[in-house]
Each structure stands twice: as structure tokens, then as C-alpha cells.
Structure 1
Amino acid sequence: MTAESAEHRVHWPVPPHDGYTVDDLFTLPDLPPHTEMIDGSLVFVSPQGHFHFAMIHLLANGLRSTLPPDFRVAAEMTVVLDRHNAPEPDVFVARADALTSHDQTRYAAADVLLVIEVVSPDSTARDRDAKPRKYAAAGIPNFWLVEMAGEDDHPVVQVYELGKVTGTYALTGIYHDHVKISVPYDIDIDLTTFDRY
């Protein structure tokens, strides 16, 4: 082994036998930005592409345009679901009184009304399967999944609502051009403005 290869060796943290906890997520040194915790494992996020970036801003701005004063929109912040799960939704809506400090780094699932995941090539399975199941189990009432579609790669928003009896999400609509719904509040987002971001 050369001195150069030894210098570039990465020292990954070794997880405890029963996996990491949320406390570890916030105390382990030198974690990359936007590290998530899924089932006690650390998930490092790849650099985001333009579609991902543009959709986060389009949706956050759209949600804020009709936001009631008792709600708050956040992006790319940790939501603690349980002791071993702390994902970072791309966008979410929480109760305004859940923000207790400008130094705050996380929200509790009980304070979140809507989570949105924008699918990226490296997060497809997590965004379509693992995260929705965990958000539903944590009782978050609304979930949106956003993907590219068609030859022009336009955004498609799938809207889901948590079934009170089943405890799972049910699809309530698929939107290609315009999201106009009344849950969790009156929302009106023009998806055709995507190319402006």
C-alpha cells in the first residue's frame, strides 16, 4: 500500500450490534450533510440532480403560497419517526408550533402533516417503498411521491392519504400539470412552471 492510498482511506463508523439510534445520528462526528437513518443504518445521500433541486423549490414555494398561519413548510430536515428511523424528507409541512428554536435540527413525526419525496436514481426503492411504509407507521397523514415522466421528463405528483382503518397510504390522485387539493389544507400548485427553476 502506498502512502497516497493510505491517506485516502475512508474510516467508516462501525454500527453497534443493534444498529444506530437517532441520538447517534445527531452526535456522530463528521457525518456528511443530509445523512438519514433507516432501520438503524446510516444512509448517505448522493449529490442531487436538477430535477430533484427544481421540484423541491417548486413544491416548497407552492405549498407556502396558500399556507395557513398555523403550519410551516420545511425542506431537507430530519423527521424523527422512531428510535431507529430519522429520514430527511425532501419537503414537508409541520405544525408551526413544532418549531421551538431557530437552532432546531429535527421535527417529530407527530407534528408533521405531509411529507414529500422526490425520486432520484439512488433513492428509488427507499422513496417508493421503505419511506412511505415508515411514514404511514408513524401516523403522518399525507404523503406525496414525485417522479419524472414522459419524453420531456415532466413532473408527476402522486398524492396519498393515510387510511385510518388500514394504517397504510391509499392513492387519492395523480397530477401531471396542476395539484389542486384540499388536504391537509387548500393547495394549488402549477407544475407546468417546473422549467422556470
Structure 2
Amino acid sequence: MTALPDWMRPPRAEGWFAEDLDRLPEAPRHTELIDGALVFMMAPQRSWHGRLVTALTTTLMEAAPAGFEVEREMTIRLDERNRPEPDLLVTTAPYDPQRTWYAPDDVRLVIEVVSPESAHRDRTVKLRKYAEAGIPHYWCVEDEHGAPVVHVYELDEPTSLYAPAGIFRGTLKRPVPFEIGLDLDTLTPPTGTTGA
């Protein structure tokens, strides 16, 4: 059995803290911190996931009004022990090329595209943590026979919990965090076809 590399050993008895992620250049890309533990994306990502995230990124960037930015695969520092990395986020913080994370107060929408290895975290752990951090909107995108289905949640501030705001197939229209209209069926090519 091979010994763990030094960078994988927590720097203190209490484990990892949010700021430690910026000091781990050897860590695999897409490393998250959940409850003080490092979480690595170890399974190869499916093409469906990558294409959907890219299509959502470009579509939302085109639709975002002034004052909103769309970021792909950037961490959110929820607290000192949690720094998850959603697939996409919409923020009101100005663009900063040196930024490595966002504060929850700056994030208006988080989007997670569910993969088999991330399903539990996306549907339960992150759903709860993003709500507790006060992020107003959360979308969890599922693969339904090759088509994206978006489960939309809005924050109920008195309880700090998300309330379901709809399940969208085919088209998605939302007035928040800005006016959004998506033709979901065009975000990924049908199975067995190639892109233009």
C-alpha cells in the first residue's frame, strides 16, 4: 500500500478549513470541502454533464442583465469548514480575475448537475447547506433519459430551508434571480447525434 502524499494530511488535528483549499496546488481539480473533509471528483465526468454545464453557462451568461455574473466551477465559502464547488453559480459580486471563492451573500443562484457519484451530496447535503447559508435559489438538474429536468428551490427565509418551486421539463421560465427562459431540450444533443 502506498503512503498518502503529504498534502493529503490535514494541517491540524481539527482537520481542514476553508482557506486551506487555496494552499493545496497538488489537490485534484474540483476538490471541495464538506464538513472539514476534502471531497475529490474521482470518477470521470460524463459527456452529457459537461455539455449541459457548458450550455447552461453560455445561455445564462447571454441572459444575465448588468450586475449579474455567471461562474462555472467556483467554490462558495459557506463557513470555515465548508467550501463546496457547484457546477454553476449566479452572483452579484463584480468580476475579479484573482478570485478563488465567493461568499454566500454574493450568490443568488446555485446550480448542481447531478452525477451518479455526486447524487447524494447534490440532493441532500448541498441542498441543506446552501439553504442554511442563505443562498436564495437552488437548481438541481437531473438526467431523465438523456433530457435535463430541473428541480427548482427557493429559500424560505424564516426556516432557512428550501421550498420546492417547480420541476421543469422541456422549458423553464423563472422571474428570479432575473428573467430566465430556457429551452431545456436544446441544451444537450439527442443521444446518438453529433454537434454541429
Would you say same fold, with TM above 0.5? yes
Any unmatched runs of 5+ in structure 1? none
Deviating more after overlay: 60-69 vs 138-147: 60-69
Select 1:162's aligned residue among 155, 158, 170: 155
Name the counterpart of 1:107: 102
How much does 1:51 deviate? 1.7
* Residues 38-187 of structure 1 mapped to structure 2, 5 A cutoff: 38-46=34-42, 47-97=44-94, 99=95, 101-149=96-144, 152-187=145-180
C-alpha distance in structure 2 between counterparts of 1:17 and 1:124, whole Å: 30
Runs of 4+ in 1 over 6 A off after TM superposition: none
C-alpha distance in structure 2 between counterparts of 1:66 and 1:142, whole Å: 17
| CA RMSD across the alignment | 1.6
Query: How many equivalent pairs are there?
Result: 187
Residues 60 and 74, structure 1, Cα contact 8 Å, conserved in 2: yes
Name the larger-Rg structure: 1
Q: Deviations over 1:121-141 (max 9, x none)?
A: 111111011111110111000
C-alpha distance in structure 1 between counterparts of 2:90 and 2:17, whole Å: 24
Select 2:32's aligned residue among 36, 40, 43: 36
How much does 1:10 deviate? 4.5
TM-score (normalizing by structure 1): 0.89
Matched residue of 1:195: which SS?
Answer: coil
Any unmatched runs of 5+ in structure 2? 190-194
- The amino acid that maps onto 1:51 is W
Residues 69 and 96, structure 1, Cα contact 8 Å, conserved in 2: no
Residues 139 and 153, structure 2, Cα contact 8 Å, conserved in 1: yes
How much does 1:39 deviate? 0.4
Residues 55 and 188, structure 2, Cα contact 8 Å, conserved in 1: no
Name the counterpart of 1:191: 184
Name the counterpart of 2:5: 11
